[in-house]
């Protein structure tokens, strides 16, 4: 899976600060320079003031100002299962690659067997991988060895069946019913820092599934460059404290 930033608000942390400073000033925020708007905030220079102010907002739970900036990410090759988890979050905007208009008629089923088009979970190939709700006691070494073969055979067969249904004239919107939930999809998602921190609260946590955890970590890495002070504070002080942003 790959994640890239498509577009984002410039100077997002200035915008967060201005939004919040608006709450505490009698003058109109739009008439102020950033330096003037930050006057009175503790810090040697404006960068230190920004860092202190953002940390104070997060510490107090004043999360509203973190909704003003937004970032749009392009995600390539998530499974439909991961997509179903991500799109449960309602404070985000999505575009999802359509299986009605994009058909996989040219994909080589042998390539699918080798890992194209369908995400291969680590438990299919890594005998030491232990996932949630796994009945480890009941599985012997032969079973572990056979997992990969069964998984690969199954995804290949479903793509072969899908392509045969297309050849038999079935529309892609119906033939797709036989494709696995691991089928890859490209997603465009727009988030604000608050919604991203909330998603990370839930999806970077140890009890979330490996794929959405990996996706969330990639989003957080990009966000750390886009909103460095906010996500540095989040990483150091807030991450892994579940539901900090939506009690
Ligand atoms: C480990 C894990 C396992 C899960 N297992 C399942 C499962 O088995 N089945 C399943 O269906 N789901 C499951 N989920 C999904 C989960 O229940 C949530 O639906 C999903 O994570 C969206 O998060 P959210 O509820 O915080 O809502 P978001 O849409 O992210 O909203 C953020 C916050 O806004 C507030 N909010 C949003 N909408 C409303 C509303 N209508 N009313 C009141 N407050 C609102 C809430 O405070 C909410 O926390 C699982 C999630 C995790 C992390």
Task: Say if CB 190 and CB 70 are below 8 A apart.
Answer: yes
What does DSSP say about strands 2-8 and 184-191: parallel, antiparallel, or unpaired? Answer: unpaired
Average of pLDDT values for 219-233? Answer: 97
Task: Say if CB 112 and CB 155 are below 8 A apart.
Answer: yes
Neighbours of 213 (CB within 10 A): 17
Question: 187: closest CA among 79, 96, 103?
Answer: 96
> pLDDT (tens digit, 9 = 90+) per residue, 69-104?
999 999 999 999 999 999 999 999 999 998 888 888
Tokens, residue 237: 């002080």
Pocket test for ligand 1, best of 67, 83, 84, 90 (most atoms within 8 A of CB): 90
Question: 62: closest CA among 24, 91, 99, 36?
Answer: 24
Pocket test for ligand 1, best of 91, 202, 204 (most atoms within 8 A of CB): 202
Question: 193: closest CA among 222, 163, 152?
Answer: 222
Rounded Cα distance between 171 and 105, Å, is 11
Q: Known catalytic residue: 80?
A: no
Task: Please say if the pLDDT value at position 44 is more than 90.
Answer: yes
Residue with CA closest to ligand 1 atom 11 = 88
- What is the CA 211 to chain-centroid distance, rounded? 9
Give the percent of the chain with pLDDT over 70.
94
> pLDDT (tens digit, 9 = 90+) per residue, 11-42?
999 999 999 999 988 999 999 999 999 999 99
Q: Which residues contact 141 (CB under 8 A, 6 or more apart)?
A: 127
Residue with CA closest to ligand 1 atom 1 = 208
Is domain 2-72+186-238 in CATH 3.30.1360.170, yes or no?
yes
Q: Tell me the domain boundaries of the chain.
A: 2-72+186-238, 104-182
Average of pLDDT values for 218-233? Answer: 97
Residue with CA closest to ligand 1 atom 42 = 90
């Amino acid at each position: 899976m790959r994640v890239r930033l498509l577009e984002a608000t410039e100077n997002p942390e200035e915008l967060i600060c201005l939004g919040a400073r608006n709450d505490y000033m009698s003058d109109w925020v739009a008439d102020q320079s950033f330096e003037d708007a930050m006057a009175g905030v503790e810090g040697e220079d404006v960068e230190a003031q920004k860092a202190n102010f953002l940390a104070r907002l997060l510490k107090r739970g004043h999360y509203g100002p973190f909704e003003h900036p937004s970032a749009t990410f392009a995600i390539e090759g998530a499974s439909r299962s991961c997509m179903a988890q991500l799109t449960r979050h309602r404070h985000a905007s999505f575009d999802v690659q359509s299986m009605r208009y994009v058909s996989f008629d040219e994909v080589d089923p042998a390539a699918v067997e080798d890992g194209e088009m369908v995400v291969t979970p680590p438990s299919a190939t890594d005998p030491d991988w232990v996932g949630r709700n796994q009945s480890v006691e009941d599985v012997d070494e032969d079973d572990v060895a056979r997992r990969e073969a069964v998984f690969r055979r199954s995804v290949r067969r479903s793509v072969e069946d899908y392509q045969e249904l297309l050849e038999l004239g079935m529309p892609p919107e119906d033939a797709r019913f036989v494709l696995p939930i691991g089928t890859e999809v490209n997603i465009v998602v727009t988030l604000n820092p608050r919604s991203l921190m909330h998603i990370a609260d839930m999806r970077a946590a140890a009890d979330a599934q490996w794929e959405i955890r990996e996706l969330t970590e990639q989003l957080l890495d990009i966000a750390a460059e886009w909103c460095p002070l906010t996500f540095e504070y989040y990483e150091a002080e807030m991450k892994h404290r579940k539901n900090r942003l939506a009690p």
